[in-house]
DNA sequence: AATGAATGAGCCTTCATTCAT
DNA sequence: AATGAATGAAGGCTCATTCAT
C-alpha cells in the first residue's frame, strides 16, 4: 500500500510558496531556496519535483491561470443575459480571490518574464484568448462583430491597466470601484450601440 | 578652455544603452557589462558615473519619464479646447517616439521593479500624478469633478493596459488603433456627460 | 524452501548495469541513479546492497578482473608449450569477450580512478601481478629470467597501450590485428633469444 | 601605457595550477576553486580568463601537448639517421620533463575525459597523428611501408602502456629502463627487417 | 525486499562592485 | 577619464546518501 502520494501535496505546497514568494518580492527573481523554505522543504526537493526553476515558475503561472479560469467558468454559469456575462467576467477579475496583492504582483511579474520566456508567453496568450472569447460571448449579441472586437480589446486593456496601477498601490483603492469603472465603460458604450442583427 | 565635459556625453550614452539593453532583454535584469559595452565603454566606467546599477536604472527611468513629459508639454501647447487636450495626451502616449517596443518593455519592466524599489516607485508616482493632472485639465471643464476623477483613472488604466498588451505583441497591432480605442472611450463618455458648471 | 536469494541476482544485475553505464559514459562518473535505473531498480536499493558507490565500483572492477581471470585460466589449460602459453594470454586479452568497447572503457576509467582509490589500486595490482606471472610462465623456459622479466613488462605495456588507443577509436581497428602486433613483438624477441639453461 | 599584460601571466599560472591539481588528484575532477587557489587567485578570475572549466582543461591539455611537441621538434633536429630519429622520439617521451608523475596522470586523465569530450578527443587525435608521423619518418627508410605502419602502432602502444603502468606506480621504476624497453623492441624488429628499397 | 521522500554538501557560474594604474 | 584586474557573494543544480514505510 503505497503512501498516498505525497507528491501532489508537495507540488501544491511549492506552487503556493512560489506565489507567496513572488508576492512578497514583487518580482520573479525569487530564489529556489526562498520558495522551498516557505514550503518547509529543501531546495533540492523543489528541484526533485520540478526539475528546474523555470518549470516551477511555469507551473505557478499555470495555477494562477487555472484558478482564474475556474472562477470564470463558475461565474459565467450564473449569467443569464449577454450583459450579465460581461459583468460576470469583470467581477471575476476583481473578485476577492483574484484581486489580491500577491496575485496582482505575480501577474505583473509574469507579464515581464513572458518577454523572455516562450513558454510563459504561450501561457499568457492562452489567457488572453480565453478572456477575449469570454468577452465576445457577451458582446456579440449586443453590437456588430467588428465593434465587439474592438470593445473586447478595450475592456481587456482596462482590466490589465487597473491591475498594473493597483500593483503600484496608486490606483483605485478598492476592487469594487475598479470593477465599477469597467462596468461604466461598458454601459457608456452600450447606450449607443445598436444590438447586432438577430440573424448574426 | 576645458574640454566641454565628456561626462554628460557618457551619461547620455549609458542611459541610451540601458534603454536598448532593457528593450533587447525585455526586462531589467540586464548586466552592467551589457549596458556598458553597448555604450562602448567599460563597466567600471558606468560605475564611475552612476555609482551603482540601481542609480543608472533610476536615471534611465527618469529619462524615459522626462521624454514623455517633454512630448506632453509640447502637445498640450497646441491644444485649444479641453477635448483637444485629452486627445493630445492620448496621442502623445501612442506617438512614434513613445510607443516603441523597447520603450514599452522598459515601462513594463520598471513597473515591476517599482515593487521593490522605493525610488522607482516614487518616480512612477510622479508620472501617474502628472498624467492625472493633465487628464483632469481636459476633463474638468467637461463634467463634474467627481466624474472627471473617475474618468481620468479609466483613461490612464486603459493606456497602461494597452502598453502591457502591446508588450506581449498580442494586443492591437498599431499605435493608431490603440489611440483610437481610448478616444472612443472618451467620446462614449462625453456623449452623455453634461459640461461642468461654468463657475467651476 | 526459502526464495533462492534474490540478493545475488540483484547484485549481478547492478554490476552489469554499472559496466553498461560506465561503457556508455566513458568514465566512472556515472550516477548511482543511472546505474540503478539501468538495472531496473531504485538507487536506494543499490545502496542497500552495496553500501556506498565506491563499493559498487569496486565490485564491478572485481567482476571484470574475475572474468578476465577465468578466461585466462581456461585458455592456459589448452596451452601445451611455453610459446603457446604466451599466445593464449595475448589472445585472451583481445578475445571477443574482453576487447569490447564498454570493457575497454571501463578498464581505462578504473586505471584513472585507481589513482585516488587505494582499494581499486590494490585490485589493479593483483591483476598486474597475475598477468606478469602468467607471462613469466611462458617466458622463463625460453630465455634467461632477467630477460623474461623485461619482456613480460614489454608485453604487458603493449597490451595496455593497445587498450588505451582502442578506447580512443584511434588505434588498430580490430582485435585480431592488435593481437598480431603483440605476437609479432614476441616473435621478434624470441628469434634471437637463447633458451634458458635446462636446469633453470 | 597599459600594464604589461598580466593576462598571459595569469593564464599560464592557471594552467600550471591545473596540471598540479590534476596531478595531485589523479583525475580531472578537480574543482575550479582548487585550481584557482593553487594559482593564488579567486575562482571567479579563472572563469574570467577561461570562461568555463571545460575550456581551462582544454587549454591545459593543449599546453601539455605543445610542450611535448616542442621537445620532440628539438630532439628530432639533432637526429642524423632514421634510427636516431626513432631514439629521439622514444627518449623525448621518457625525458625528465615529460615522464613526471603529474604529467603522466594528466595524460591518463585526459585519455578518459576524451571519451566524453569531443574537443579533447580532437586534441588527442592531433597528438596521435603527430607521433605516428614522427615515427614513420624514422621507420619508412628502414623497412617496407606496410611494416612501418604496423611498427609505428606497436611503438606508440608500448609508450602509452608504459605511461599507464607508471601511473599506477607499478611499472618500471625509472624512465631510463622504460625507454630501454622500447628501444629493445625496435632493435629486435630491425634486426630482421630489410631496408626499404632505395627508390621508395 | 524495495522504494519514494528528503536532504546536505558541494560545484560551476554569474555579476555587481572595487581598486590600482 | 578610463580600464583591466580581481573578488565576494549568491544562486541553480546535482548527487550520494539516509530513512520511514
Q: Which bases along strand F come within 7 Å of a protein CB atom?
A: 1-21
Per-residue CB contacts under 7 A with strand F, chain A residues 26-65 = 30-33, 43-44, 47-48, 51-54
Tell whether D160 is within 8 A of chain C (Cβ). yes
Mean local confidence (pLDDT), B34-47: 97
Mean local confidence (pLDDT), D40-49: 98
Which residues, 6 or more positions from D157, have their beta carbon under 8 angstroms from its beta carbon? C157, C158, C161, C162, C164, C165, C171, C181
What pLDDT was estimated at residue A141?
Answer: 97
What pLDDT was estimated at residue C168?
Answer: 78
More confident residue, C171 or B160: B160
Mean local confidence (pLDDT), B151-178: 88
- Give the tens place of pLDDT for each residue, C80-132: 999 999 999 999 999 999 999 899 999 999 999 998 899 999 999 999 999 99
pLDDT tier, A191 (very low <50, low <70, confident <90, very high otherwise):
confident
pLDDT tier, C191 (very low <50, low <70, confident <90, very high otherwise):
confident
What pLDDT was estimated at residue B123?
Answer: 94
Instruction: Return the residue in D125, D188, D190, D191 with the most chain C beta carbons within 10 A, the one to mutate for interface testing.
Output: D188
A4 CB less than 7 Å from any atom of strand E: no
> Phi-psi bin for B4: left (phi > 0), alpha (psi -120 to 50), beta?
beta
Does the structure show a pLDDT above 60 at D196?
no
Tell whether D156 is within 8 A of chain C (Cβ). yes
Q: At what angle do helices C118-139 and C53-77 cross, to 10 degrees?
A: 10
What pLDDT was estimated at residue B197?
Answer: 54
What pLDDT was estimated at residue B6?
Answer: 84
pLDDT tier, A13 (very low <50, low <70, confident <90, very high otherwise):
very high
Per-residue CB contacts under 7 A with strand F, chain C residues 151-190 = none
Distance, in Å, from the CA atom of C122 to the CA atom of C119, rounded to the nearest integer, reads 5
Q: Do A181 and B111 touch (CB under 8 A)?
A: no
Write out chain D residues lying below 8 Å of C29, CB-based: 29
Does the structure show a pLDDT above 70 at C75?
yes
- Give the tens place of pLDDT for each residue, D114-159: 999 999 999 999 999 999 999 999 999 999 999 999 999 999 999 9
Distance, in Å, from the CA atom of B181 to the CA atom of A152, rounded to the nearest integer, reads 11
D81 CB less than 7 Å from any atom of strand F: no
Does the structure show a pLDDT above 70 at D171?
no
What's the whole-number average pLDDT of chain C? 91
Judge contact between C181 and D154, C-beta under 8 A. yes
The residues spanned by each domain of chain B are: 59-192
Mean local confidence (pLDDT), C135-156: 96
Note the CA–C1' distance, C61 to E4, in angstroms: 30
What's the whole-number average pLDDT of chain B? 91
The nucleotide whose C1' lies nearest the CA of B31 is E15
Of D153, D181, D184, the CB nearest to C181: D153
What pLDDT was estimated at residue D2?
Answer: 47
Per-residue CB contacts under 7 A with strand E, chain C residues 163-182 = none
Write out chain A residues lying below 8 Å of B27, CB-based: 112-113, 115-116
Residue nearest the C1' of E11 (CA based): D31
| DSSP category for residue C41 | S
Tell whether A157 is within 8 A of chain B (Cβ). yes
Mean local confidence (pLDDT), B25-43: 96
More confident residue, D191 or A40: A40
Task: Return the exposure string of D67-101: e unless at least 16 CB atoms fall within 10 Å of the residue's CB, then b.
Answer: ebbebbeebbeebeebbebbbbbbbbbbbeebbee
What is the pTM for the complete model shown? 0.91
More confident residue, C185 or C167: C185
Of C153, C158, C161, the CB nearest to D172: C153
More confident residue, C50 or C167: C50
Tell whether B184 is within 8 A of chain A (Cβ). yes
Q: Do A153 and B116 touch (CB under 8 A)?
A: no
Judge contact between C106 and C68, C-beta under 8 A. no
Tell whether D3 is within 8 A of chain C (Cβ). no
Query: Do B and A have ≥3 inter-chain CB pairs under 8 A?
Result: yes
Q: Do A170 and B124 touch (CB under 8 A)?
A: yes
pLDDT tier, B171 (very low <50, low <70, confident <90, very high otherwise):
low
- Give the tens place of pLDDT for each residue, D102-125: 999 999 999 999 999 999 999 999
pLDDT tier, A19 (very low <50, low <70, confident <90, very high otherwise):
very high
What pLDDT was estimated at residue C89?
Answer: 97
Does the structure show a pLDDT above 70 at D194?
no
D51 CB less than 7 Å from any atom of strand E: yes
What pLDDT was estimated at residue B200?
Answer: 42
Write out chain A residues lying below 8 Å of B29, CB-based: 29
For the ranges B114-118, C136-140, D4-8, D194-198, the maximum mean pLDDT occurs at: C136-140
Tell whether D95 is within 8 A of chain C (Cβ). no
What pLDDT was estimated at residue A196?
Answer: 53
What pLDDT was estimated at residue A199?
Answer: 46
Q: Kindly report the nearest CA distance between residue C148 and chain D, in angstroms.
A: 12
Note the CA–C1' distance, A117 to E18, in angstroms: 34
Does the structure show a pLDDT above 80 at A197?
no
Of A108, A150, A156, the CB nearest to B111: A108
Distance, in Å, from the CA atom of B193 to the CA atom of C19, rounded to the nearest integer, reads 83
Does the structure show a pLDDT above 60 at B194?
no
pLDDT tier, B86 (very low <50, low <70, confident <90, very high otherwise):
very high
For D193, phi and psi rounded to 5 degrees?
A: -65, 135
Tell whether A24 is within 8 A of chain B (Cβ). no
Chain A residues 33-62 within an 8 A CB cutoff of chain B: none
Q: Give me the DSSP letters along C57-110.
A: HHHHHHHHHHHHHHHHHHHHHT--SHHHHHHHHHHHHTSTTTS-HHHHHHHHHH
Does the structure show a pLDDT above 90 at B199?
no
- Give the tens place of pLDDT for each residue, C11-54: 999 999 999 999 999 899 999 999 999 999 999 999 999 999 99
What's the whole-number average pLDDT of chain A? 92
Judge contact between A175 and A94, C-beta under 8 A. yes
B33 CB less than 7 Å from any atom of strand F: no
Judge contact between C170 and D130, C-beta under 8 A. no
Please report, for residues A141, B99, D46, D58, D109, the alpha-carbon distance to residue D36 in angstroms, rounded to integers and kept in the order given. 71, 49, 6, 16, 19
Superfamily of domain D59-192: Tetracycline Repressor, domain 2 (1.10.357.10)
C112 CB less than 7 Å from any atom of strand F: no
What pLDDT was estimated at residue C172?
Answer: 62
What pLDDT was estimated at residue A1?
Answer: 39
Write out chain A residues lying below 8 Å of B171, CB-based: 153, 157
Q: Do C150 and D181 touch (CB under 8 A)?
A: yes
Note the CA–C1' distance, D165 to F17, in angstroms: 34
What pLDDT was estimated at residue A173?
Answer: 72
What pLDDT was estimated at residue B89?
Answer: 97
What pLDDT was estimated at residue A20?
Answer: 96
Cell 556508455 maps to which residue?
A: C24
The nucleotide whose C1' lies nearest the CA of A43 is E7
C133 CB less than 7 Å from any atom of strand F: no
What pLDDT was estimated at residue B8?
Answer: 85
Angle at B122 between CA A27 and CA A160, to 5 degrees: 50
Mean local confidence (pLDDT), A43-64: 97
Distance, in Å, from the CA atom of B151 to the CA atom of C23, rounded to the nearest integer, reads 72
- Give the tens place of pLDDT for each residue, A127-161: 999 999 999 999 999 999 999 999 999 999 999 99
Tell whether C14 is within 8 A of chain D (Cβ). no
Tell whether A23 is within 8 A of chain B (Cβ). no
What pLDDT was estimated at residue B168?
Answer: 78
Amino acid at each position: 500500500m503505497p503512501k498516498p502520494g505525497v507528491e501532489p501535496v508537495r507540488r501544491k505546497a511549492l506552487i503556493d510558496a512560489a506565489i507567496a514568494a513572488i508576492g512578497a518580492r514583487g518580482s520573479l527573481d525569487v530564489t529556489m531556496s526562498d520558495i522551498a523554505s516557505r514550503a518547509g522543504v529543501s531546495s533540492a526537493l523543489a528541484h526533485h519535483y520540478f526539475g528546474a526553476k523555470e518549470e516551477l515558475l511555469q507551473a505557478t503561472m499555470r495555477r494562477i491561470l487555472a484558478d482564474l479560469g475556474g472562477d470564470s467558468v463558475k461565474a459565467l454559469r450564473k449569467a443569464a443575459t449577454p450583459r450579465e456575462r460581461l459583468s460576470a467576467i469583470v467581477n471575476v477579475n476583481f473578485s476577492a480571490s483574484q484581486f489580491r496583492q500577491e496575485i496582482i504582483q505575480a501577474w505583473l511579474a509574469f507579464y515581464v518574464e513572458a518577454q523572455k520566456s516562450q513558454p510563459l508567453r504561450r501561457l499568457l496568450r492562452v489567457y488572453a484568448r480565453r478572456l477575449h472569447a469570454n468577452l465576445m460571448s457577451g458582446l456579440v449579441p449586443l453590437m456588430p462583430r467588428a465593434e465587439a472586437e474592438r470593445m473586447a480589446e478595450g475592456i481587456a486593456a482596462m482590466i490589465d491597466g487597473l491591475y498594473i496601477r493597483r500593483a503600484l498601490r496608486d490606483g483605485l483603492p478598492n476592487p469594487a470601484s475598479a470593477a465599477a469603472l469597467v462596468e461604466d465603460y461598458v454601459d457608456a458604450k452600450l447606450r449607443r450601440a445598436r444590438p447586432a442583427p438577430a440573424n448574426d
